[in-house]
Amino acid sequence: MQGIVRGLAVSALALLVALPVPAFAQELRVPQSAADMQMSFAPLVKQTHGAVVNVYAERMVQRRVSPFAGDPFFEQFFGQRMPNRTEKQSSLGSGVIVGANGIVVTNNHVIDGADDIKVALSDGREFPVKVVLKDERLDLAVLKIDAKEELPALAIGDSDKVEVGDLVLAIGNPFGVGQTVTSGIVSALARNRVTEGDFGFFIQTDASINPGNSGGALMNMKGELLGINTAIFTKGGGSNGIGFAIPANLVKVFLAAAERGDASFERPYVGASFDPVTSDVAEALGLDKVRGALVVRVAEGGPAAKAGLKAGQVVVAIDGIPVEHPDALGYRLTTAGLGKKVTLSIRENGRESEIAMTLAGAPETTPRDERLIEGGSPFAGAKIANLSPKLAYDLRMPSEVTGVVITEIAPGSPAARLGFAPHDIIISVNGVNITSTAAMAEAAGEDPGFWRVEVEREGQRIRQIFR
């Protein structure tokens, strides 16, 4: 009996040996020799680390040494014996040289508000830089090093080819200790709701990323830039194995705008608003997966309306690439670029169809006609403008809003004291609908004795009476 069992075991082993080994199993193996055990990232680091720089930003700030400093009442009696103090604040981050002519990409929050910016190369040399283009929403900035010689640069890879599980290296200057290299894998893709900004499409990695790594490189095993490290998910200020990077394909589009000399970065205007697809929505619409961007509202005359997009439809892909959520749709449209025609895959009533849409910037359909309200009205001290898709984009408001909006409020003005705020949309004054800044200026110039005001704030109507 034992001989039979032994014979079966031998036969099974022979069968297993004879079976073909899957390709992925052939590619992945444990070290087979002493040479394998000595494999290292060192050659790759030597090849690429010179393209990662330290970014030093300095800004001058006014600090009050007394809570009464700047108060006209106290200065009238006590004079300015306690003047405000000017202090220098410094911040440290990282950057990546992506052009031999000294073009550097970093995070906007690294250099935001800086009066003086310098970069230090890995060999210790320092150079002054100028800001070519920056964008707070994308948290990206392009700098130009003032150097006469060619500098080491990192090639930019295709972040759409990144897969979960890929090996990556992160290079930066965490905590200001000096250039540091960490390794890990790509943990997830298309992550959103990571930062407070409105950009939501990040590469997630477990390579250690800490404060100071911002603006540094996340690269693959070919030495190509896959992303700009930008955020960490932590409560204690250190790495917990969850870091996020802005994909390289978005960096390419941003660099192209900088090379064209654009004053600002403009994303495509769709003329529609979207919500995430929930499990209930997916079931109701016959979707096999909880993914996509649900069309909530379509602006009349916008690109979406012209393409035939309607409320209730779900965008599930763009140019054949699946769309996970509304932020992913925005990312795909942005990386496609202005002037391009894209194909949207739409799900409606259990069926899928395709529509073509040409991407363009947000139009200023109505001139802004900015005006500062003065006089004795409750709006005195408020700067107003006519809303358009372009102004709504600049103010980070929904693209479909219309009317007259408050863009600024002067500190200490009647408008400020009465609680008006930027982004308030003025609906009516004393029963008169406000449709333009000219109408608002006329209404504010009257003296009715009391004021009945209606404004819209974040979708809510507010009615007040002032005397």
User: Is residue 252 left, alpha or beta, with left meaning phi > 0 and alpha meaning psi from -120 to 50?
Assistant: alpha
Q: What is the largest CA-CA distance in the chain?
A: 111
Q: By C-alpha distance, which of 210, 94, 100 is closest to 141?
A: 94
Q: Give the distance, in angstroms, between the CA of residue 277 and the centroid of all CA atoms in the same chain.
A: 21
Compute the distance between CA of residue 327 and CA of residue 197 in angstroms, rounded to an integer: 11
Q: Of 91, 187, 208, 214, which one is the catalytic site residue? A: 214
Indicate if 369 belongs to the active site. Answer: no
> Phi and psi of 317, rounded to 5°?
-160, 155
User: Which of 91, 109, 327, 399 is labelled catalytic?
Assistant: 109
Instruction: Tell me whether residue 214 is one of the annotated catalytic residues.
Output: yes
CA distance 173 to 52: 9
Catalytic residue among 49, 94, 135, 139: 139
Does 109 qualify as catalytic in the annotation? yes
Q: Rounded to a whole number, what is the distance in angstroms from the first to the last CA of the chain?
A: 105
Residue type, 106: T
Active-site positions read 109, 139, 214
